[in-house]
């Protein structure tokens, strides 16, 4: 459903932002 897609998109966006802030984080 669209709701799930939006939720996943937000999570992925947060993860990418976290990796950009901490490039050495694993």
Whole-number pLDDT of residue 1: 87
Whole-number pLDDT of residue 22: 83
Whole-number pLDDT of residue 26: 61
Q: What is the pLDDT of residues 1-26, one digit of tens each?
A: 899 999 999 999 999 999 898 877 56
Whole-number pLDDT of residue 25: 58
Helix (H), strand (E) at residue 7: helix 2-21
Whole-number pLDDT of residue 5: 97
pTM, entire model: 0.55
Phi, psi of 21 (to 5 degrees): -75, -40
Whole-number pLDDT of residue 14: 96
């Amino acid at each position: 459903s669209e709701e799930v897609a939006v939720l996943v998109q937000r999570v992925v966006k947060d993860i990418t932002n976290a990796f950009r802030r901490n490039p050495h984080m694993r």
